[in-house]
Structure 1
Amino acid sequence: WRVWDVSSRRQVAVGRLPVGAMAEAVAPDGRTLVLRTAAGVGLWDMAAGRWTGGKAPLPLTAQVSFGGDGHTYLVQDGDQVELRAVADGKVLARNRASGVTRPAASADNRLVARCLDRGGPQVWDTGTGRTVPGPWERSDGFCDGDDSQQLLFGAGDRLAAITGAGVTVWDVRAGRELAVLDDPGITYAEFSGDGTFLATADSAEIRVWRLTKPDAPVFRHALDSQHVYDGPAWDDGGRVLRYLEGGTVHTVDLGPAVTPAWRGTRPAGVTYSPDGRLYATAERSGGRYVFEVRATADDRPLSSLPPVDVPVAQAPATSAGPLSPFPLMAFSPDGSALAYGVSASGPQGIEQRFTVWDTARRRTRTTLDLTGDPVVNIALGRDGRALYTARSGVRDVYDEVWATRSRRRTAVLPGLAGGLLTVRPDDGLLVGDGRLASLPSGRAADRDLAQGARVGAAAFSADGSLLAVGDDSGRVTLWDAAVSRSAGVLGNLFPAPIGNVAEAVTAVAVSPDGGMLAVGGDAGSIQLWDVATRRPLGAPLTTPGDGIESLAFSPDGRTLYSGSPYVPLQRYVVDPGRAVERICARAGTGLTPGEWRTYVPSAPFQQVCRSNRVSRRDGE
């Protein structure tokens, strides 16, 4: 046997095993092995080079696994399960079990989960000898299955039951179900140190699930035909995962997927200014919504805006149902103004007040009373002089133009299908879901913006020469300034969906120079594209796994900002020079000439990193 320090890549210990022994498991502390020999099953002290855990070997029929701390082990033989001490094999607790599913012990050895004859797993308190009741007992069929099923404990008395169909996680201490993961075919699983995440592996991917939001994984890593021998295991304070494939340990940086910036309470919305300097959030507090403007560069709060009360109907609620309030926010193209308010779906005739806020002077410019049909979307024109609204009428959606200074409605634009509203930076064109309106004339024209798919997001470049339209199939269609000619279609490069529904585009942004496009989806994916070549820039970025609501580039184009309900501000370095510096700092050196010939044979050698060292073996 050999022990390696993975961080330093050094072998730190080596020793021999008894002749004919086969290793089946290693203790969590890396000091003891479970060995199977012709004489039976036993524990091997690696440092001392001798048997431990009791004098006599266990029968070959025994199933042996370690407890959570490495100082205990579980033995199941027939209908008996025992918790024993590694040091001397002393039996610490004994109870019944059955089936092929191995029992599992919590880290403090206070709890053991095991299967009885049928039904769900049972949790046994080793101190009192009593069964701990809970909803896990009612997971019918778990204990009737095969050896693909697993029981696993995590921090805070969290218990996971893994089957071929997915995972169910309970909080044993609270006696309630925490999460159900749609993750079939799992071969390995492991809780993070604090029990917040669960990492799983199957034949195709490693996935990380946030247990407070288990509808989709927050991180996915394709194995590309690799076979995971062991892992994934958490390391470096929960920031990386390691797994063993063949004789190689692979380390995966989880980055933003496990960001500590995740908010326990869900903000109602987030939006960025097109120039990337500011972002605004909206969050409900009792009977009102609280709005705030912050700086993207340092997340410094700049303005707490006058709050807005939840809308009320002018008449008692009808058969259409109760009001469902939601905030609406829109920056002007230059970021000098922000329009915000609260609308509601439900009966017509509701009170809706929208405010235009001066972001530079940090004061209210004007307030518009838009009582009537519910406003479903807004856009703010250049310098904040015009507010564009989409309203849900009795029969269809229609659009309006409001002069913010005079507080007067200047135009009604029927048939724009304006559930989505995007205004060109020069205020010359208003884009809806399937129609365009020239401004100020209001002359409309039909346009299929997304090849028949439903439009989810749209954004103009800073000079208005390019329009990017994302749809619910995950594609993006590019258009010229007049939106009269398509400039290309970018395919869906988001990871394959866990279910049967493709990830829909919910946010797009064009870099200040018009050369780069960022595309965000409702499952939390972000893909970068090169506009000139219509080619993707790398794989999707790692995100916290929450649906992307807004994207923006910094004024210099070197940073991408991403906003989602649980993480309103996330930064990504998209400048190639800064990315190279980070990679070189992590690697310590660039490729040698010999390595360059192996991995980049079609290009001449370059010193990518300043500290690039040439190996003597290369002779160059």
Structure 2
Amino acid sequence: MVFGTDGNTLFAGTSAGEILRWDTGDPTALHTLSPLRGHSKQVDSLAVSPKRGLLASASVDGQVRLWKATGTTPVATLRAAPYTSDSFGPIRPVHRIAFDSAGGLLAAPAEEPKKKDPLASSDDLALWTLDDPRAPRQVVAADKGVSSGGTRCSDSVTSMAFASKSKRIVASCGGGWKTWIYTYGTDAVLPGAQNTINGSHGGVALFVPGNAEQLLKATDRGVQVWDLSNGAQPGAVGFIPPAPGTGGQLSLAMSGKRLLLAYQGVGMNWLRDLDLRHLRSNPLATTVAPDMFTGQDIALSPDGKLLADAEVYKQGKETYANLFLRSTASPKQKLGMIEVNNGVGALAYSPTKPLLAVSDYNGLVASNPKPQVVRLYDIADPRHPRHLSTIKTTGYGLGFSPDGSSLVMNEAAKGDTKAARPTAGPLVHSWDVTDPAHPSASWSVRLPTGTDYAQFAFRPDGKLFALYDDTGTLRLWDVRRDRLVGPPVKVSIGRLDGPLAFSPDGTRLALIAPSGDYDRRPEVWDVSDPDSPTRQFYMPAASAFYSLAFTPDGKTLAVVRASAGIDLWDAEPQHVIADLCNAVGDPISEQDWKKYLPDRPYQPPCQ
């Protein structure tokens, strides 16, 4: 139902395809007007143009009709998406069509043509200008839409709305939402922010009146409030483009008073100078990066003075990669080069000495012409890196202990990996590198059969070791005298999909965890009590995340999001708690408090 702009005429769609009308000028004596006829199926959505005197109606078969609000004959007929129940259940459509505040634009869902799956329900945006209501002009055609680059809704659209003072459009689809922005100057529609809420039944999505940067989304878990001031990732305090390449890694370090960020881009490595106070990033240098298999890592030295990154070169028809050392003060200049035979699989700087560990392997097994090894280099003079020793194993991940005495690496699963039937899981192996010219095997942990890979991290004080494998198990060991002590504390989280990162104070552990059947999300766990780790908070889900790291002050968490860029999140627990309290209020009432804690004064967490 919807009221006309005169405030007196009430319209209501029916299952028979009619639009009933009443004059409510006298609420005590409603006057029935003649119905509007033209639809052959149920009318599921109605919208009134604020300034053009138009009524738009949509039926479940995808037919959209435009009417003069005072007339009984449609002035135009348009085609939109038919309505199908979304994947979360039979949510009835409520406002699948919408006018902008000036009444010159009409938005509706437009399905992708020629769907391979006739039962699929993912809608594009269709948009018409109404300079002449009798001949609406479609800006985003249903057969072209804005479907490239992941801009389609994730499910059937159940509501659509414009922001009151901008041309930003939001669609509620399934449990999530999707936004677009229309620009008059270019007569184009640009994809905006989106979010999918797994396992949540969706409802109406609306902008806060007068504020295009705040979105209200109704779900079966309550009304959510989203901050869209950062359009690339709502809720994040910052965003850094361009999109990293598949599997892109990042590295953070302080160089004097500068915060530096290095990361792998799409065919390009980047070094940026971050200013978190003003949420700006200044590109310092770019280099041509290898593919995701030949160059899989990038690293800044602990003091932020050196950057190690892989760069491609060609020899005849073949493409190879070398590892270069650069000064972050003049990053376009190469100081020294380290030759690799296969590729750069992983990198690690020692935190206590001028030592660099390099895993020489290519992610494509057939592209490793020589044995895969880990090499240690003395980089006291980065212009002339000196080879110290070689460990004959494949290091799928490298990391030094905080005191620099041990180098830990992942080694391959044992057995016939080509037949995908290893007889044992991967080996996490520690090497004593007190004398890096003569490394010696120290402790090792063999993961169970069925485990393909794992990620690990040391707590900054070196007294806790975290190991997270792809079966979804997080293990925490005490470390004494460079050895793992006793059985680990085990926590079942869900399938691993990225690295681990401790906060600088060692009380929090960031990781990438599953969210639903297909998506992933960054999570932060409280490990201040390693015997009882607890999930502290998590960020919105996406299809994939590749890497994450805390800033040196622990206040910000940088996360590499697939096909997007790097999101910067406020990681201070007190700020996160305050935001949650503002959104949901106190989770326990005074009555419930007295019921469960009768001997304690009422002290809810949000007060």
TM range (shorter): 0.5 to 0.7
Summarize deviations over 1:290-343 as a string: whole Å, max 9, x none: 4334355554557724x54557xxxxxxxxxx9976463223346564423335
Summarize deviations over 1:566-614 as a string: whole Å, max 9, x none: 34241224333x44555666789997744643686685322756xx6xx
1:340 corresponds, among 296, 304, 309, to 309
Q: C-alpha distance in 2, partners of 1:78/1:262?
A: 40
Residues 109 and 410 of structure 1: CA distance in aligned 2, closer, same or farther (over 3 Å): same
Matches within 5 A, 1:129-168: 136-139=112-115, 153=125
Q: C-alpha distance in 2, partners of 1:587/1:74?
A: 35
Are 1:372 and 2:345 an aligned pair? Answer: no
Q: C-alpha distance in 1, partners of 2:314/2:23?
A: 67
Are 1:411 and 2:395 an aligned pair? Answer: no
CA contact (8 A) 1:342 1:352 kept: yes
Q: C-alpha distance in 1, partners of 2:17/2:265?
A: 67
Gaps of 5+ in 1: 1-24, 115-119, 122-135, 158-169, 312-321, 494-501, 613-620
Matches within 5 A, 1:485-496: 485=485, 486-492=487-493
Q: C-alpha distance in 2, partners of 1:446/1:47?
A: 84
Are 1:606 and 2:597 an aligned pair? Answer: no
2:524 corresponds, among 524, 528, 538, to 528
Are 1:513 and 2:505 an aligned pair? Answer: yes
2:401 corresponds, among 424, 427, 434, to 424
Alpha-carbon offset, residue 363 of structure 1:
10
Residue 430 of structure 2: aligned partner: 436
Residues 93 and 450 of structure 1: CA distance in aligned 2, closer, same or farther (over 3 Å): same
Alpha-carbon offset, residue 176 of structure 1:
5.2
Q: Alignment partner of 2:462: what SS?
A: coil
Summarize deviations over 1:424-449 as a string: whole Å, max 9, x none: 12221111112222113322357336
Residues 591 and 82 of structure 1: CA distance in aligned 2, closer, same or farther (over 3 Å): closer
RMSD: 5.3
Residues 391 and 603 of structure 1: CA distance in aligned 2, closer, same or farther (over 3 Å): farther
1:281 corresponds, among 245, 262, 271, to 262
Q: C-alpha distance in 1, partners of 2:77/2:347?
A: 66
Residue 391 of structure 1: aligned partner: 360
2:274 corresponds, among 255, 274, 294, to 294
2:325 corresponds, among 349, 355, 358, to 355
Residue 401 of structure 1: aligned partner: 376
Matches within 5 A, 1:202-213: 206-208=175-177
Q: C-alpha distance in 1, partners of 2:222/2:36?
A: 32
Q: C-alpha distance in 1, partners of 2:448/2:314?
A: 28
User: How does the TM-score come out when normalised to structure 1?
Assistant: 0.65
Residues 326 and 155 of structure 1: CA distance in aligned 2, closer, same or farther (over 3 Å): farther
Q: C-alpha distance in 2, partners of 1:64/1:589?
A: 40
Alpha-carbon offset, residue 518 of structure 1:
1.5
Q: C-alpha distance in 1, partners of 2:478/2:153?
A: 42
Q: Alignment partner of 1:542: what SS?
A: coil
Gaps of 5+ in 2: 85-92, 130-138, 181-188, 362-367, 411-426
Q: Alignment partner of 1:355: what SS?
A: strand
Q: C-alpha distance in 2, partners of 1:68/1:574?
A: 43
Q: C-alpha distance in 2, partners of 1:38/1:106?
A: 22
Q: Alignment partner of 1:469: what SS?
A: strand
1:574 corresponds, among 565, 572, 575, to 572
Give the % identical residues.
16
Amino acid at match of 1:43: R
Residues 507 and 44 of structure 1: CA distance in aligned 2, closer, same or farther (over 3 Å): farther
Residue 8 of structure 1: aligned partner: none
CA contact (8 A) 1:218 1:546 kept: no
Residues 218 and 68 of structure 1: CA distance in aligned 2, closer, same or farther (over 3 Å): same
Q: C-alpha distance in 1, partners of 2:390/2:62?
A: 77
Residues 241 and 92 of structure 1: CA distance in aligned 2, closer, same or farther (over 3 Å): same
Alpha-carbon offset, residue 43 of structure 1:
2.8
Q: Which protein has greater RCO, CA pairs closer than 8 Å, 6+ apart?
A: 2
Q: C-alpha distance in 2, partners of 1:90/1:65?
A: 19
Amino acid at match of 1:447: S
Q: Alignment partner of 1:237: what SS?
A: strand
Q: Alignment partner of 1:432: what SS?
A: strand
Residues 438 and 69 of structure 1: CA distance in aligned 2, closer, same or farther (over 3 Å): farther
Residue 7 of structure 1: aligned partner: none
Matches within 5 A, 1:448-487: 448=445, 450-452=447-449, 453-481=451-479, 482=482, 484-485=484-485, 486-487=487-488
Residue 19 of structure 1: aligned partner: none
Q: C-alpha distance in 1, partners of 2:17/2:280?
A: 68
Residue 315 of structure 1: aligned partner: none
Alpha-carbon offset, residue 411 of structure 1:
0.2
Q: C-alpha distance in 2, partners of 1:39/1:394?
A: 69
Q: C-alpha distance in 2, partners of 1:569/1:99?
A: 36
Summarize deviations over 1:525-569 as a string: whole Å, max 9, x none: 1222222143323452336765141221543x4544434463424
Q: C-alpha distance in 1, partners of 2:319/2:602?
A: 69
CA contact (8 A) 1:192 1:198 kept: no
User: How does the TM-score come out when normalised to structure 2?
Assistant: 0.66
Q: What is the total number of aligned residue pairs between the two structures?
A: 515
Amino acid at match of 2:474: V
Amino acid at match of 1:410: L
Q: C-alpha distance in 1, partners of 2:262/2:25?
A: 57
CA contact (8 A) 2:36 2:72 kept: no
Amino acid at match of 2:431: A
